[in-house]
Copies of this chain bind each other. A is one copy, B any other.
Amino acid sequence: MTESTIKVALLGAGTVGSQVARILTEDRDELAQRIGGTPELIGIAVRSVDTPRDYKAADALYTTDAESLIDRADVVIELTGGLEPAKTRILHALAAVKHVVSGNKALIAAHGAELMTAARQSGAQFSFEAAVAGAIPILRPLRDSLAGDHITRVLGIMNGTTNFMLDAMDARGADFDEVLAEAQRLGYAEADPTADVEGHDAAAKAAIVASLAFHSEFHIDDVHCTGISDITADDVTAAANDGYVIKLLSVCERDGEGVNIRVNPALIPRSHPLASVHDAYNAVFVESRDAGELMFYGPGAGGAPTASAVMGDFVSLARRSVLGGPGVPDYSYLGLAATSLSNVVSRYTVGLEVRDQLGVLAKIANVFAEHGVSIETMHQAKHREREDTAGDHATIRIVTHKTSNEDLRSTIAELTSLPTVYNVTSVIQVEG
> Is A312 interfacial (CB-CB < 8 Å)?
yes
> Is A415 interfacial (CB-CB < 8 Å)?
no
Once A33-B333, A297-B295 are accepted as A-B contacts, the answer to whether A140 and B148 lie under 8 Å apart by CB is no
Chain B residues near A325 (CB, 8 Å)?
320, 323-326
> Is A149 interfacial (CB-CB < 8 Å)?
yes
Once A292-B298, A320-B328 are accepted as A-B contacts, the answer to whether A311 and B135 lie under 8 Å apart by CB is no
> Is A109 interfacial (CB-CB < 8 Å)?
no
Once A140-B140, A325-B325 are accepted as A-B contacts, the answer to whether A290 and B273 lie under 8 Å apart by CB is no
> Is A173 interfacial (CB-CB < 8 Å)?
no
Cross-chain contact A148 with B310 (CB below 8 angstroms): yes
Cross-chain contact B312 with A145 (CB below 8 angstroms): yes
CB distance from A330 to the nearest CB of B (A): 11
A48 to B291, alpha carbons, bound, how many Å?
28
Return the contact of A288 from the options B34, B295, B308, B315 (Cβ within 8 A): B308
Cross-chain contact A312 with B147 (CB below 8 angstroms): yes
A and B contact pairs by CB, cutoff 8 A, 27 listed:
A19-B290, A34-B331, A137-B144, A137-B294, A140-B145, A144-B312, A145-B316, A146-B308, A147-B311, A147-B319, A148-B310, A148-B311, A148-B312, A149-B311, A273-B297, A276-B276, A290-B304, A290-B305, A291-B298, A291-B308, A293-B299, A297-B297, A316-B328, A319-B328, A324-B325, A324-B326, A325-B325
Contact string against B for A residues 128-153, beta-carbon threshold 8 Å, 1 for contact and 0 otherwise = 01000001110011001111111000
Q: Which of A20-40 contact B (CB under 8 A)?
A: 23, 27, 31, 33-34
Cross-chain contact A135 with B320 (CB below 8 angstroms): no
Since A140-B140, A273-B297, A320-B325 are in contact, a sample of 13 more A-B pairs with Cβ atoms closer than 8 Å, ordered by chain A residue number, is: A23-B290, A33-B333, A135-B294, A136-B294, A137-B294, A147-B312, A291-B309, A292-B299, A292-B304, A292-B305, A296-B297, A297-B297, A324-B325
> Is A307 interfacial (CB-CB < 8 Å)?
yes
CB distance from A133 to the nearest CB of B (A): 10
> Is A368 interfacial (CB-CB < 8 Å)?
no
Q: From A322, which residue of chain B is reached at the shortest CB distance?
A: B328
A215 to B276, alpha carbons, bound, how many Å?
32
Cross-chain contact A148 with B295 (CB below 8 angstroms): no
> Is A244 interfacial (CB-CB < 8 Å)?
no
> Is A126 interfacial (CB-CB < 8 Å)?
no
